[in-house]
Each structure stands twice: as structure tokens, then as C-alpha cells.
Structure 1
Amino acid sequence: MAWTWTYETADGRETGRSAEFETRSDAESWVGEAFGELLEQGVDQVRLFDGSDEVYGPMSLHPA
């Protein structure tokens, strides 16, 4: 399976999807590095998927 992130607005509207990652660790490392750029692009939250299965989310990209 491929690991991907969906990008969403604060109200849950999907606005895009990340590239595919081979492992969950790779996907999580990438979002940790890219969250600032995603915020600049208007992404408020993300969801992690393993193929078509949602693993977790929504996870806000904004500081608590």
C-alpha cells in the first residue's frame, strides 16, 4: 500500500493530496518538514491514509 496525506480546509473540505510514500514513517517525517509550506498554501489540516484506509486525522497544522 501507499501512504498519502489529504489536505483539507478547517471545515473538512479536501483540497488536495500528497505524493505517495512507501512507509508511514516516511509520510510522517515529510509532513513534519512540510507543514509550514502547507499552511502557506492554505491547508489547515491533514489526514493520513494507507491506501484507501484512513489511519488518523484530521490533524491540525496550526499551533495549539
Structure 2
Amino acid sequence: MSWRWQADKPRGVVIDAAGLGLEQTFPAQGDAESWLGEAYPELAEAGVTAVSLFEGDRLVYGPMSLAPEGT
């Protein structure tokens, strides 16, 4: 089964999922989480407000905010 991120964004915001890497799938949860650790600043800058992690079609956790702590 593959792992993937799904972005949450404010209504009306258009996100280029492919340009941000959100179309990627990962062989393991750790790989997906490592990728997010590197990519979250770009995602947040592009307007993604939160992400959810899926294993196949099963929600594992989320939505998880990309806002800095305390905001």
C-alpha cells in the first residue's frame, strides 16, 4: 500500500499539487513524513493550510496544520 499527503487549503485558493510534489506516493509512512518535513515551508507559502496523511484510501491522521506554533 502506498502513502500520500492530501492538502487542505482555503476556499478559492488554487494549488499546483504536481508542482509542490503532492502527487507523490511513498512506500512507507516514514518516507512520507520525511518528505513533509522538507516540503512544508513551500507548501505553506503556496497556501496549503493543513495536510492529512493517507495509506491508500484510509486516513491515518490529519488534518495537521502547517501554521507556525502560536498562530
In structure 1, distance between residues paired with 2:65 and 2:23 = 16
Percent identity of equivalent pairs: 48
Q: Structure 2 stretches of 5 or more lacking a match?
A: none
TM-score of the pair, normalised by structure 2 = 0.77
Q: How many residues align?
A: 61
Structure 1 residues 45 and 29 mapped into 2: Cα distance closer, same or farther (>3 Å)?
same
**Is 2:7 the partner of 1:7?**
yes
Could you say which structure has the larger radius of gyration? 2
Q: Structure 2 matches for 1:1-64, cutoff 5 A? A: 1-9=1-9, 16=17, 17-64=22-69
Judging by fraction of residues, say which structure has more strand. Answer: 1
Give the superposed CA RMSD.
1.5
